[in-house]
Structure 1
Amino acid sequence: MDHSPRGFTRRRLLQAGAALGGAMLLPGAITHAWAAGSDAPELTTVRVGFIPLTDCAPVIMAALKGFDKKYGISIVPSKEASWAAVRDKLVSGELDAAHMLYGMLYGLELGIAGKTHPMANLMTLNQNGQAITLSTDLLDKGVKDAEGLARYVAASAPGTHTFAHTFPTGTHAMWLYYWLAAAGIHPFNDVRTVVVPPPQMVMNMRIGNMVGFCVGEPWNARAINDRIGFTAATSQAVFPDHPEKILGTRAAWVEQHPHTARALVAAVMEAARWIDASPQNRRETARVLAKRAWLNTKEQYLTGRMLGEYDNGAGARWQDQHPMRFFNDGEVSFPWHSDGMWFLTQFRRWGLLRSDPDYQAIAARINRNDIWQQAASAVGGIATPSGLLRTSTLMDGSRWDGTRPAEYAARFALNRRGDTA
């Protein structure tokens, strides 16, 4: 599996800097972009929305461990009921920033996840760590994997079986669609899909509203514990080291509060580094997140998968080679342009976009590498990647490197575009 960053020439880095308003600096350059005495945060309190999922961890631990105070702000986490609520409160200004689905923020920028709003991705909060759960009823019928599911679906009338994800342009929708399509199941023509908030997934499967769902942890582990589902695939098996949640906000908020944005990213980045520093820190994080104020669940549902220890509920156990990561020497948090562009290719594939957008320009506009670099400099000891693109190989063997995105989007046989076979 190849997930290395693509090297950029000096000329291309300077061009990328121009696209980012001159903010992209060459490797080794001095990255202090503010003058002493003039860099105080414009705000002292920052309201950050989150959904009760394991991957909200860097935001919560930044507040509870005092990393925010180190940078002159107080992070106030705000627990939200659904991704739609996060979207609405962020857009209205009730929230300053939020733990967000990567594709949700890009969808807002493009007007396909609600009314169009200029958005900003400040950093990636985590990679990996989501899963696709199928019901134990399917397991009892011999469905253990995608291939078995394809045979089962083929034997039924189209739309008979319902699957859930968490937001129409969100990451979970894209992992679910990709996984189904790789098995020859068209996610729009062969099955029915619905939107369900993450904390309501297990309850809805229990009462028979769907036979499968894609969601973040701990809700997949909870389905196994409650004996109503099993993990058919992890998201990292679909796309190793994939981007997942981001720290998102409005573009106008960053322009109005650039020092606050830098302080916020620095605090959350330092929390992410602390979480990844040791298994003990991950265990402590799981204990904290399980409390009522945050996820309101049992610690045991979080700890195993936080440590990369998987039990799929159907007899398989393994130590995952691509567990949920929060830092990885800063590479997790870097706003790779290729990450955002990948979601655009999937929006195009599934008909959410009627024509190819300007992939590179959109990623350069949304992903605020300038803020990330300033924050990384403030935290210290974090190397800036040499380019803005990285390379990955997905479950079906397709290679994504951020180049020729329109060609990549058009390569899939199963799609909803209407202009390819």
Structure 2
Amino acid sequence: MGDAFSLSRRRLLQAGAALGGAMLLPGLMHSAWAAGSDKPELEAVRVGFIPLTDCAPLAIASLKGFDKKYGITLVPSKEASWAAVRDKLVNGELDAAHILYGLLYGLELGIASKPQAMANLMTLNRNGQAITLSAELQEKGVTDLPALKKLIGQSAPGAYTFAHTFPTGTHAMWLYYWLASGGIHPFDDVRTVVVPPPQMVMNMRIGNMVGFCVGEPWNARAINDRIGFTAATTQDIWPEHPEKVLGTRREWVEQNPNTSRALVAALIDAARWIEASAENKRETAQILSRRGWLNTKEQYLTGRMLGEYDNGIGRRWQDAHPMRFYAEGEVTFPWISDGMWFLTQFRRWGLLKTEPDYRAIAQRINRTDIWKDAAQAVGGITPPSSLLRSSTLMDGTVWNGSDPEGYARSFAIQRRGA
């Protein structure tokens, strides 16, 4: 699929020739998208975010002027929890948000609150989350999933508590999948609780849980504070998995189609800048460390932003699937099969009691039309030839969207009564 997203060098050269060989400056390439009938309906766009490394495209778009390039001004709003993001997005205090993929789908289906018509405008990143286990478990000889399974098997059900960030969110789905792949039932064998990302490390420190799944920098922070270690990255579970998306209300997109396009274009352009060089990634980490964004030490961000991992118990590696924001545009596309996968997990864990129309729901939420308009505005990105992609997960299962209900019901460990 990478070839489908490769930069169209011929197109750029032809355009350059048309301009008498002049360099194609951003302003020349995109000014038409911010004027006339294509002018954004709104000048200022309020976008919520949680202080996590993967809010990077929003920070860079705002601070590097990619928003102005497309005729809008981003107004970032730092939020304390995913529940706060949900509430402000639904009641209109936010126009859009950096949001968990599964949270957005949960809103649409009425399993994260009452049903709300939502829209996924683009994928903001892939990979880059992790599961942290406590130093307490390490002292008991637990450094991997088989050892964890053995310990839990020797204990009363619910004796050990694990945390994720939202009931229908990505971190819940990664945690459940990882535990189940090791023979641990995430509802019958252990207890799970919801904790906002910035509070994960503190809660582990005081003993409220022995494991958590969250985005960075909180896994790296747990290692630095010597209270835990990385047992698995989420790219171990699903290489190149979708993570955060740019979410909004369907009504807002219908009322502001040009603003929606401009917003997506600005964030795609920012994502491209981030991945243009290691230097840009380092600068992004420095920017994110500031008080207005993550308010943490730059050292907690840089390593994993660059794909340089240390699990805290002696293993170091350059990850083959680090956090990605662009990858020739491929990361940003709102694949229909990605959305369908979350529906299969909702079904697996009893959050959906009856078989949904997987593809229809995903096509309703994932606005590939807006993405394509935005990609055209940015330039140099070729849309994929299919709305579905194929992936192999940690347990060898292949997900390609072809039989979602069969996939959902194929797992040995499911929630009883689902």
Taking structure 1 as the reference length, the TM-score comes to 0.91
- The Cα shift of 1:34 comes to 8.3
2:146 paired with 1:177: no
Q: Deviations over 1:276-319 (max 9, x none)?
A: 11100000000000011100000000000000000000100000
The residue aligned with 2:239 is 240
Q: Deviations over 1:81-128 (max 9, x none)?
A: 000000000000000000000000000000000111000000000000
Please tell me the residue identity of whatever aligns with 2:77. Answer: S
CA–CA separation in structure 2 for the residues paired with 1:417 and 1:334: 35
CA–CA separation in structure 1 for the residues paired with 2:355 and 2:310: 40
Taking structure 2 as the reference length, the TM-score comes to 0.92
CA–CA separation in structure 1 for the residues paired with 2:3 and 2:154: 43
CA–CA separation in structure 2 for the residues paired with 1:207 and 1:37: 57
Please tell me the residue identity of whatever aligns with 2:373. Answer: Q
Q: Is the 8 A contact 1:125 1:247 kept in 2?
A: yes
The residue aligned with 2:70 is 71
CA–CA separation in structure 2 for the residues paired with 1:4 and 1:60: 26
CA–CA separation in structure 1 for the residues paired with 2:71 and 2:93: 21
Please tell me the residue identity of whatever aligns with 1:125. Answer: L
Please tell me the residue identity of whatever aligns with 1:233. Answer: A
Counting only pairs closer than 5 Å after superposition, residues 12-411 of structure 1 correspond to structure 2 as 37-411=36-410
CA–CA separation in structure 2 for the residues paired with 1:164 and 1:36: 47
- The Cα shift of 1:418 comes to 2.6
CA–CA separation in structure 1 for the residues paired with 2:114 and 2:74: 27
Please tell me the residue identity of whatever aligns with 1:76. Answer: V
Please tell me the residue identity of whatever aligns with 1:362. Answer: I
Q: Deviations over 1:330-364 (max 9, x none)?
A: 11000000000000000000000001100000011
Instruction: Give the match's secondary structure for 1:177.
Output: helix
CA–CA separation in structure 2 for the residues paired with 1:156 and 1:47: 48
Instruction: Give the match's secondary structure for 1:332.
Output: helix
Q: Deviations over 1:165-205 (max 9, x none)?
A: 00000000000000000000000000000000000000000
The residue aligned with 1:29 is none
- The Cα shift of 1:37 comes to 2.0
Please tell me the residue identity of whatever aligns with 2:56. Answer: A
Q: How many residues align?
A: 391
CA–CA separation in structure 2 for the residues paired with 1:34 and 1:271: 17
CA–CA separation in structure 2 for the residues paired with 1:151 and 1:236: 24
**Dislocated runs of 4+, deviation >4 Å:** 3-6, 33-36
Q: Deviations over 1:192-224 (max 9, x none)?
A: 000000000000000000000000000000000
Q: Is the 8 A contact 1:99 1:246 kept in 2?
A: yes
Evaluate the alpha carbon distance shift between residue 271 and residue 172 of structure 1 in structure 2; reply closer, same or farther with a 3 A threshold: same
Instruction: Give the match's secondary structure for 1:180.
Output: helix
The residue aligned with 2:15 is none
Q: Deviations over 1:243-295 (max 9, x none)?
A: 00000000000000000000000000000000011100000000000011100
Evaluate the alpha carbon distance shift between residue 417 and residue 360 of structure 1 in structure 2; reply closer, same or farther with a 3 A threshold: farther
- The Cα shift of 1:140 comes to 1.1
CA–CA separation in structure 1 for the residues paired with 2:313 and 2:350: 35
- The Cα shift of 1:35 comes to 11
Instruction: Give the match's secondary structure for 1:341.
Output: helix
Evaluate the alpha carbon distance shift between residue 45 and residue 180 of structure 1 in structure 2; reply closer, same or farther with a 3 A threshold: same
Q: Deviations over 1:47-76 (max 9, x none)?
A: 000000000000111000000000000001
Q: Is the 8 A contact 1:5 1:386 kept in 2?
A: no
CA–CA separation in structure 2 for the residues paired with 1:294 and 1:356: 40
Percent identity for Structure 1 against Structure 2 = 75
Q: Which ranges of structure 2 fall in alignment gaps of 5 or more residues?
A: 5-31
Evaluate the alpha carbon distance shift between residue 78 and residue 36 of structure 1 in structure 2; reply closer, same or farther with a 3 A threshold: closer
Please tell me the residue identity of whatever aligns with 1:309. Answer: E
Instruction: Give the match's secondary structure for 2:36.
Output: coil
Please tell me the residue identity of whatever aligns with 1:344. Answer: L
CA–CA separation in structure 2 for the residues paired with 1:275 and 1:328: 10
Most deviating of 34-43 and 178-187: 34-43
- The Cα shift of 1:149 comes to 0.3
CA–CA separation in structure 2 for the residues paired with 1:120 and 1:312: 36
Instruction: Give the match's secondary structure for 2:192.
Output: strand
Q: Deviations over 1:14-68 (max 9, x none)?
A: xxxxxxxxxxxxxxxxxxx989720000000000000000000001110000000
CA–CA separation in structure 2 for the residues paired with 1:376 and 1:142: 50
CA–CA separation in structure 2 for the residues paired with 1:35 and 1:116: 34
Instruction: Give the match's secondary structure for 2:104.
Output: helix
Q: RMSD value over aligned CA atoms? A: 1.5
CA–CA separation in structure 2 for the residues paired with 1:36 and 1:316: 53
Q: Is the 8 A contact 2:237 2:393 kept in 1?
A: yes
- The Cα shift of 1:5 comes to 10
CA–CA separation in structure 1 for the residues paired with 2:2 and 2:205: 41
Q: Is the 8 A contact 2:34 2:71 kept in 1?
A: no
Please tell me the residue identity of whatever aligns with 1:327. Answer: Y
CA–CA separation in structure 2 for the residues paired with 1:322 and 1:225: 22
